[in-house]
Amino acid sequence: MSNNTSNSFTLRANEDDVIDGINSILNMLENIGQPLFPRRIMTAAYSGAFTIDSLTHMFDAFKRANFQDCRISAYPPVNEDTLFIPNLLLLDLDYDDDQVKTNGRAYADLIHKTKVNKILKRLQTKFYITNFMVVNTGNGRHVLIPFGFDTPFEYIEEMRDILPHLMSSRHKRANNTMSESFLPYAKNYLSNSQADKGNHPNFASIFMRIPGSINMKMKYGTAEIVKIEHEWDYEATLPSFGDLHKNSDLFYNYMHYMRLVAGKQLERKNTFRYASPQGITRQWIEILHNTAVSDCRKRILWLILAPYAINIKKMTHQDAFVWIKQWVDKCDRTYRIDSSYNIDEKIDYYLNVAKETEYLPISIKKLENGDWKMRGGIDLINLIRNKMHGQTSSVLYDSSM
């Protein structure tokens, strides 16, 4: 008999604690403006999720399952005609398997708590997100982040122009693409890519464990009671789009990311229609990598070097990081950037973006038609051409990384 099974006979949930856990979750859903019912739930007594239409129906189902593996959907049931607001995010942060196997779960939990605290500090200091719930699931921790968004992202003016380029047969619910795509993006961005990489959240897939219930699906031994380690603040104002857009780069980078996704879809329709002779498409990027510049460096990293390394050269993440860092160091020796700018973090971030979106580097034709002005009025394309033709050119300086 497994440890989980034997422990299930002795471990009992406290009904009052479960009620408190349900109330905490439902109060959060109500606070962010979601309808409470109908709602999808899961329990150990059923296979898969099913819909309930009232608090009584939900509690009875949980009780019949002896409060084991009780979960509730973060969003109402999904249908084709509904536009959802991405106002609840779940960061799934699991224990490190190697830490558990090598040093035991108690030690792994201590290390894990330190990691989670760093993520929480990052949320507060970098993104001004101060209201969240931390739940210990027994396999790790869930960080629930409620937002004060009041409209689907498709209606936000800054994002509206991107939406037509995202329509494709791949999206059965393409009208909700901007809002739904925010969930996996924010999960990775806010957690600094430390949340469960096997978890790809969407409106239908996010389920929250009920505090006070029993987690029977333990990876590391016996069943555990799900516990709230940090309660969210019922009275505090939740951050809105305007607050976050003004105070952090979260939405600026998200809109840039979605433009890259839109560009990738357009690129797929016209892949390699423009083909430079004798493999020049790859040659000019290799030349750029060997050229020290200090203008447009962030755009070069975003749109050229990261997608080229990951999706053309098929480098590993580590090799691509080293390859790009060589270029950055070369540029840095020419013009030193602000020491407060964490370039290593940016390299890592845009490599992850390239990997997730699979977008290709921009073509040399787009480089010709774009605004890539260097100091002195010389275009980046002309600097590259000079290098390609063996001509000498002075290094051009600018601080706009």
Per-residue pLDDT at 378: 76
Q: Cα(167)–Cα(72) distance, rounded to whole angstroms? A: 30
pLDDT given at position 373 = 76
Q: Is residue 394 in a domain? A: no
Same domain, 176 and 279: no
Does residue 88 sit in the same domain as residue 210? yes
Q: Are residues 233 and 341 in the same domain?
A: no
Q: Which residues contact 347 (CB under 8 A, 6 or more apart)?
A: 301, 306, 321, 324, 325, 328
pLDDT tens digit string along 256-283? 888 877 776 655 544 433 333 333 347 8
| 262 inside domain | no
197 confidence band (pLDDT: 50, 70, 90): confident
Amino acid at 102: T
In the Cβ-directed half-sphere of 360, how many Cα atoms lie within 13 Å?
15
Residue 373 falls in which region: left (phi positive, over 0), alpha (psi -120 to 50) or beta? beta
| CATH code for the domain of 113 | 3.90.920
Residues 217 and 299 in one domain: no
Identify whether residues 75 and 187 lie together within a single domain.
Answer: yes
Angle at 254 between CA 262 and CA 343, to 5 degrees: 110
Q: 227 in helix, strand or coil?
A: strand
d(CA 333, CA 293): 10
* Residue at 258 is within a domain: no
H/E run at residue 215: strand 214-215
- Give pLDDT tens digits for 63-74: 999 999 999 999
SS3 396: coil
Q: 111-120, 124-133, 176-185: lowest mean pLDDT where? A: 176-185
354 and 225 in a common domain: no
pLDDT score of 248 more than 60: yes
pLDDT value of residue 63? 97
Stretch (H or E) spanning 321: helix 317-334
Residues 6+ apart with CB under 8 A from 382: none
What's the rounded Cα separation, in Å, for the pair 346 and 331?
15
Is residue 293 located within the same domain as residue 215? Answer: no
Overall average pLDDT of the 19-44 stretch: 96
In the chain, the N- to C-terminal Cα span, in Å, equals 60
Task: Give CA–CA dist 253/259, Å, rounded.
Answer: 10
Q: Are residues 310 and 237 in the same domain?
A: no
CB-based contact 354:313 (threshold 8 Å): no
SS3 87: coil
Predicted pLDDT at 279: 35
Residue 110 pLDDT > 50? yes
Single-letter amino acid, residue 280: I
Please report where in the chains the tokens 């580590």 appear, as a residue. Answer: 318
Quote the CA–CA distance of 160 and 383 in Å, as a whole number: 35
| Percentage with pLDDT > 70 across the chain | 85
Mean pLDDT of 91-120: 93
Same domain, 216 and 324: no
pLDDT band at 390 (very low <50, low <70, confident <90, very high): low
SS3 of 373, please? strand
Query: What is the spatial distance between Cα 347 and Cα 312, in angstroms, rounded to a whole number?
Result: 17
> Is residue 31 very low, low, confident or very high in pLDDT (cuts 50, 70, 90)?
very high
pLDDT range class, residue 37, cuts 50, 70, 90: very high
Q: What is the mean pLDDT of the chain?
A: 83
Note whether residue 256 is domain-resident: no
pLDDT at 172: 43
The count of structural domains within the chain is 2
Same domain as 137, residue 277:
no
pLDDT in tens, 74-85: 999 987 677 899
pLDDT of residue 2: 41
What pLDDT is recorded for position 356? 79
Would residue 89 count as lying in a domain? Answer: yes
Q: Which residue has the higher pLDDT, 7 or 235?
A: 235
Return the axis-axis angle of helices 177-190 and 250-269, rounded to nearest 10°. 120
The pLDDT of residue 12 is 93
Any bridge partners for residue 305, and if so which?
Answer: none
Q: What's the pLDDT at 364?
A: 80
323: domain range?
271-388
Q: Identify which of 136-150, 172-186, 209-223 has the greatest average pLDDT.
A: 136-150
Query: In Å, how far from its chain's centre is CA 5?
Result: 35
In a domain, 398, yes or no: no
- String of DSSP letters for 154-186: GGSHHHHTTGGGG--TT-TTGGGHHHHHHHHHH
Each residue of 128-166: pLDDT tens digit? 999 999 999 999 999 999 999 999 998 888 787 787 777
Residues 182 and 326 in one domain: no
Highest mean pLDDT: which range of 123-137, 331-345, 385-399: 123-137
250 in a structural domain? no
Mean pLDDT, residues 309-317 taken together: 88
Quickly list H helices, 216-304.
241-247, 250-269, 280-289, 297-300
Residue type, 70: C
Structure tokens at 400: 């706009």
Same-domain status, 277 and 200: no
Q: Examine the pLDDT at 26 and tell me if it is beyond 60.
A: yes
Domain boundary among 191, 210, 245: 245
| Predicted pLDDT of residue 267 | 56
Distance of CA 173 to CAs 51, 60, 160, 202, 268, Å?
A: 21, 33, 16, 11, 20
How far is it, in rounded angstroms, from Cα 27 to Cα 235?
11
d(CA 255, CA 234): 30
Q: Does residue 324 lie in a domain region?
A: yes
**Average pLDDT in the 201-221 region?**
90
